[in-house]
Chains A and B, each alone.
Chain A
Amino acid sequence: MGTVTTTTLQQPQAEEYRVHYLNAKYGIKSWLLTTDHKRIAWLYLVSTTFFFVIGGVAAAMMRLNLVSPQGAIVQPETYNKLFTIHGTIMIFFFLAPAVPTVLGNFLIPMMIGARDVAFPRLNLLSWYIFITAGMIFIYSVIAGGVDTGWTFYTPLSTSYVNTHVISAAMAVFISGFSSILTGLNFVVTIHKMRAPGLTWFRLPLFIWSMYAASLIFILAMPVIAITMVLVMLERLFHVGIFDPALGGDPILFQHLFWFFGHPEVYILVLPAMGVISELIAAFSRRRVFGYGFVGFSSFAIAVLSFLVWGHHMFVSGQSVYAGIFFSAMSMAVAIPSAVKVFNWTATLYKGSVSYEAPMLYALGFIGLFTIGGLTGVFLASLGLDVFLHDTYFVIAHFHFIMVGGAVMGYMGGLHYWWPKMTGKLYPDYWARLAACIIFIGFVLTFGPQFILGFEGLPRRYAMYPPNFQFLNIMSSAGASILAVGYIMPLFYLVWSLKYGPEAGPNPWGAKGLEWETASPPPVHNFDKTPVVTEEAYAYGAHPAPVTTAAS
């Protein structure tokens, strides 16, 4: 083992009782008051999964409704609330936190050879803030719901609707602080807590992309927070901040919202991209091709993502000159995204590729993200977007990226590091089956929506002309398959907790500091601070060791 000075931990001690972070303490208090980043990751895993279920139920109801052109199950008013609940929960309470706070929290300190994040108590505070925000949002749902869409567009949200906008905006406002604190914690951790010898260019690419995503958290979340304050004030006092009749400008809201909003979508996908880099390297047994390019493309994306927000506003009445600028910048952001895709593909080439469950997700990611990104370029063209804006084409575009990309990456990451988090192996057969079902279900659900959108079906309506019914039913059918795919892991992963075979420290024979400590890791991750002497993914130098026992 080249990269670590201590190997004592890796002795197989199967029979012996070993203290690790999961059994070091017991009881509900030991979880709710923990400052251990690994336990906090679990807190987030449970809570984001909870929100994922709620958001998923809302989506299922929408798809069910759209089986019939007249709307099969709900009134249009309810439908409006459903897509608002779905969008807000999925973006703010599931996908934005999912990869950073579950995988990021668990892995960042381990990957950089630290005992914990820089500010463990702040880390726990972030979770409590997150839960508070989530509960406030649940309150607004129970109290009657919100129907503004996750975008809270003014003056609809401030002057017209009479649903629970204030509490929903409050929830988003508060959740922003949770993300800010998480981002801050990660940035400081990555800067200041790296193990000796772990230079920037030896870092796993997951760290680079988490760093870039944290930057976006830090720079974008405050703006949405203050924007939500303005929305709340406007609703409380009706002073006209966004009301054209009183001299306000609703498009200003859109600027503020999308200044945050577009970077936010990259918060969703950047961490997942980091996961994919890890998976591709581990299951091709090769160093990621063009390591530096992939690393820097994360930064390029983080920076460029702040210069493209107006592509959501091409038809809003924004200046056409601004439109031209935003269009050009949006196409530019496709470049670093493409750099990643090409480099992953090049890594596969001549790699000794194996197809375990995490790798299936990774391959799914590459294909679906590519489609999502390329359709983004369609949408970024000024002229075409006039036609496609607010149609199902946009829905399909961002679901290809956020579900086909980010959620796939998340699932892949969860499967890849599950043995590390729990010390147990899940049944690979079932996992592969679930991955395939998710892929098929996904393509069936969102593929038809590209066509629907291109044929002109607008988004956010509870009803549609009958000639769109076939594709809508196809989409709903796909959604039910997708649902099966998502529910399966819930079962076999939970099953593995009790019945899964012991994973051992490094079941994949992968490289990286996190694989050099026991599974589940000890409370302080490493018994002795590791010293790093080689670059990441040094697969060539050491042919894949399947067991790392030093015996």
Chain B
Amino acid sequence: MSEEQHATLVAEQFDDQVQQYQAASLGMWVFLTTEVLFFGGLFASYTIYRYLHYPGFEIGSHHLEVLWGATNTAVLICSSLTMALAVRAAQLGKIKDLIGFLVVTLIFGLIFLFIKFAMEWRHEYLEGLAPGVNFTYAGPHAHQVEMFMIFYFVLTGLHALHMIVGCGIMTTLIILALRGAFSKGHYNAVEIAGLYWHFVDIVWIFLFPLLYLIGGRY
């Protein structure tokens, strides 16, 4: 690689590409740590209310559609695979593969969001399970069930927001890749976007059992 090329690829505060790469990846991991604590506040509240209001949480959970939850889990796992393959393609400098995998990842992300909103949220809203907007459930433990649904909406909502951001990032990466912004040895953005994407996947991996599987389904 020539000197000029080197200069354009390394920001001026860094000495070399290795330092830049390490800083970017450390930065992303630290950011994900803040995300863990960000979701953590909700997970802690969820845990405590689940402990306090177990009967209502169980009833609320049983109003959710396990099959959609499981399907969406699978969708996200598939998207994680394609994301990992996208990073791999970037590592090897196979830009065409990279673009392909990014597009597939984006599509999986959109499928997830479609299922989440159009299949699930809409359904729960119509069933009268949306606290503050349309909550008509009047069976046993109504307030507890409402509390569960609050956490369901806040947790999945926040997660969906992260998915939307993720889809935005995917789109940006695709455009950048099309413009030839990535090359072998220069793919930091892809790698750290991948970290973000997998993290969002992990959040869902926990949300699925915590929201859909309370008390089992037997």
A143 within 8 A of B: no
A240 partner, pick from B38, B39, B45, B147, beta carbons under 8 A: B147
CB atoms of A218 and B30 under 8 A apart:
yes
A57 within 8 A of B: no
Query: Considering residues B27, B31, B154, which has the most beta carbons from chain A within 10 angstroms of its beta carbon?
Result: B27
**Complex CA distance for A246 and B52, rounded to whole angstroms:** 13
Per-residue contact bits, chain B 34-55, to A (CB 8 Å; 1 contact, 0 not): 1111111110110011001100
Segment touching A, from B18-26, B76-84, B169-177, B210-218: B18-26
A247 within 8 A of B: yes
Q: How far is the CB of A392 from chain B (nearest CB, A)?
A: 32
User: Nearest residue in A to B135 (C-beta to C-beta)?
Assistant: A239
CB atoms of A246 and B143 under 8 A apart:
yes
A118 within 8 A of B: yes
- Knowing A192-B23, A230-B154, the reply to whether A240 touches B37 (Cβ < 8 A) is no
Segment touching B, from A133-141, A220-228, A288-296, A369-377: A220-228
CB atoms of B33 and A219 under 8 A apart:
yes
**Complex CA distance for A453 and B131, rounded to whole angstroms:** 44
CB atoms of A237 and B31 under 8 A apart:
no
Q: How far is the CB of A374 from chain B (nearest CB, A)?
A: 31
B133 within 8 A of A: yes
Number of residues in A with C-beta < 8 Å to the partner? Answer: 43
Q: How far is the CB of A223 from chain B (nearest CB, A)?
A: 5
- Knowing A114-B13, A192-B19, the reply to whether A239 touches B150 (Cβ < 8 A) is yes
B61 within 8 A of A: no
Task: List residues of chain A with CB within 8 A of the CB of B147.
Answer: 239-241, 246-248
**Complex CA distance for A248 and B48, rounded to whole angstroms:** 10
Number of residues in B with C-beta < 8 Å to the partner? Answer: 39
CB atoms of B26 and A226 under 8 A apart:
no
Task: List residues of chain B with CB within 8 A of the CB of A180.
Answer: 34
B144 within 8 A of A: yes
Query: Considering residues A115, A233, A247, which has the most beta carbons from chain B within 10 angstroms of its beta carbon?
Result: A247
B12 within 8 A of A: yes
Q: Using a CB-CB cutoff of 8 Å, which residues 272-307 of chain A contact chain B? A: none
CB atoms of B26 and A188 under 8 A apart:
yes
B139 within 8 A of A: no
Task: List residues of chain B with CB within 8 A of the CB of A252.
Answer: 45, 48-49
CB atoms of A223 and B41 under 8 A apart:
yes
B191 within 8 A of A: no
- Knowing A218-B30, A240-B147, A247-B147, the reply to whether A188 touches B23 (Cβ < 8 A) is yes
A238 within 8 A of B: yes
A406 within 8 A of B: no
What 6 pairs across the A-B complex have the smallest Cβ distances? A237-B132, A226-B41, A222-B38, A116-B13, A222-B37, A247-B143
| Other contacts beyond A117-B13, A193-B14, A227-B41: 7, CB < 8 A | A222-B40, A225-B41, A240-B143, A246-B147, A247-B52, A256-B44, A529-B15
List chain B positions with a Cβ less than 8 A from chain A.
11-15, 19, 22-23, 26-27, 30-31, 33-42, 44-45, 48-49, 52-53, 56, 131-133, 143-144, 146-147, 150, 154, 158
- A–B complex contacts, Cβ < 8 Å, 20 sampled: A118-B27, A185-B27, A187-B30, A188-B26, A188-B30, A192-B23, A193-B13, A193-B23, A218-B30, A222-B34, A222-B37, A222-B41, A225-B41, A226-B42, A230-B41, A230-B154, A233-B150, A240-B146, A241-B45, A256-B45
